[in-house]
Chain A
Amino acid sequence: MKKYYPSIRALHLYIGLLISPFVLIFAGSVLVFNHPGYINKMAHGKDPSVINTRLDSIPFRSTDALTAKAIIHKLGITGEIDFINKNDSSLFFPVRTPGVINRIRVNTLNGMVSITRTDEGTLRGLAFLHAMPGPHNVAMRGNSGFIKVWRYIADTIVYSLLFLTISGVFLWYFMQSERRLGIYALGFGFLVFIGLLLFIF
């Protein structure tokens, strides 16, 4: 097994370096999710700006999602359509990129469009990326190119983390000088983990 040590060490190092900025996104956004009150105090979003415009015609398509996509294409807005609310005379949908929400309301009778743009800031942008694609609106999710790509990136990060943990244990196993303290760390982590789960359930 020791003959694999140099190649696993190199892979552990390179993959770790490659995904480290993404780990910062996922880890940093946990703090944003858990402490929204502090984040609101630290980073006030800018006041929303409103633009009213009119479409010469509404590009109706076979589904609301395709119609909404055609509308944002016409408006020159890009992003992930979060959800769509529709009634007899209007269509409402937020379009999101990390840190920015464009809430679009279209009057389907006269073509009037109101776009409310909210800059949420980088921290909330991280939280948005962390939550994507997520469990909600599965049928709609991935309607933008960047979320389609992000979905694969998120999975790759997760599988890479699995590799890093397994290869990390492998590398540690061959370090005589760290063996004893490592066993304590592993054992203590195991006890805390099991203890917490027993406490919770």
Chain B
Amino acid sequence: MESKGSQNTVKKILNFNRKMHIHLGLFLLLFIWLFFISGLIINHGGWKFASFYEQRKERKTDFTLPVTSLNDNPDMVSQVLAQLRISGEVENLKIKPGSIDFRVQSPGIVRDIHINSKSGDGTLKELKYNFWGKLKTLHLFNGVDKTNPSRTPNWIITKIWRFTMDIIAIVLIILSVGSWVMWYKVRKDYRLGYIMIACGFIVSGYFIFLLDYL
């Protein structure tokens, strides 16, 4: 009886795994395509149709802000963003005597802001990418600074997108591991699977572990 019970449990788990594989894969379809296209654009900078940087649009705007909102104000950056009616991930904040500089990024738009904190005068340099540039920035948009690992995203959209990327990555791991389980169940009908999985592990293992030694 016990073995029948455990067989049923295994059957249920295998069935659940199969359903997860099918339906998580369908759920992620458009996300996988987004990262597939943007990954190709990143790795093939020479593709003319996707040359977003050459086709960028630049704009420079001068503005003046009330000086009171700039000095000794812990909420200065968000007030500046509200007054300029822009939003995005704030990076590279540099406050020096007499000047404030920072960058505001959103997918496909980079804004560099310079403010004279004594007069309130400032300039906003805006750089807008085309559709392909937006795709490319979505692939990389996680609000992380390599030189400052403790920094975390400060814009809600960056946080949501980073969370989305995490979920996609975890689901892809589940799909991959689940595929081994699904194949194992039918391994007698698909014997070439042994060779395929071994080749995959040997080649990837070579790149991860052995390059430095061979």
Comparing B41-49, B95-103, B114-122, the segment that makes contact with chain A is B41-49
Which of chain B's residues 175-190 have a Cβ closer than 8 Å to chain A?
Answer: 175-177, 179-180, 182-183, 186, 190
User: Contact at B208–A126, with CB atoms within 8 Å?
Assistant: yes
Comparing A51-59, A84-92, A94-102, the segment that makes contact with chain B is A94-102
Q: Give chain A's interface secondary structure class.
A: helix
Interface 0/1 of A116-155, CB less than 8 Å to B: 0000001001100100011100100000001000110111
User: Contact at A33–B43, with CB atoms within 8 Å?
Assistant: no
Partner of A189, one of B29, B157, B180: B29
Interface residue A22 (Cβ < 8 Å from any Cβ of B): yes
Interface residue A162 (Cβ < 8 Å from any Cβ of B): yes
A40-B149, A158-B36, A175-B22 given; A189·B193 CB < 8 A: no
Q: A41 CA to B191 CA in the complex, in Å?
A: 42
Comparing A64-72, A106-114, A193-201, the segment that makes contact with chain B is A193-201
Interface residue A188 (Cβ < 8 Å from any Cβ of B): yes
Interface residue A14 (Cβ < 8 Å from any Cβ of B): yes
User: Contact at A27–B176, with CB atoms within 8 Å?
Assistant: yes
Q: How many A-B residue pairs have CB under 8 A?
A: 181
Q: Chain B residues near A17 (CB, 8 Å)? A: 179-180, 183, 193, 196-197, 200
User: Contact at B161–A151, with CB atoms within 8 Å?
Assistant: no
Partner of B22, one of A26, A36, A37, A182: A182
Report B75 CB to chain A, min CB distance, Å: 24
User: B19, B134, B173, B180: which has the most chain A beta carbons within 10 Å?
Assistant: B173
Partner of B43, one of A79, A133, A168: A133
Q: Give chain B's interface secondary structure class.
A: helix
User: B31, B32, B152, B169: which has the most chain A beta carbons within 10 Å?
Assistant: B169
For A119, the closest partner residue in chain B by CB is: B212
User: Contact at B23–A20, with CB atoms within 8 Å?
Assistant: no
Interface residue B162 (Cβ < 8 Å from any Cβ of A): yes
User: Contact at A21–B204, with CB atoms within 8 Å?
Assistant: yes
Partner of A161, one of B19, B36, B170: B36
Q: A37 CA to B152 CA in the complex, in Å?
A: 9
Partner of A196, one of B160, B175, B197: B160
Interface residue A75 (Cβ < 8 Å from any Cβ of B): no
User: Contact at B157–A200, with CB atoms within 8 Å?
Assistant: yes
User: Contact at B30–A78, with CB atoms within 8 Å?
Assistant: no
The residues of A with any CB-CB pair to B shorter than 8 Å are 10, 13-28, 30-31, 33-34, 36-37, 39-40, 78-79, 97-100, 122, 125-126, 129, 133-135, 138, 146, 150-151, 153-155, 158, 161-162, 165, 168-169, 172, 175, 178, 181-182, 185-186, 188-190, 192-193, 196, 199-201
A-B CB proximity, top 6 nearest:
A36-B149, A189-B27, A30-B169, A185-B23, A27-B172, A21-B204
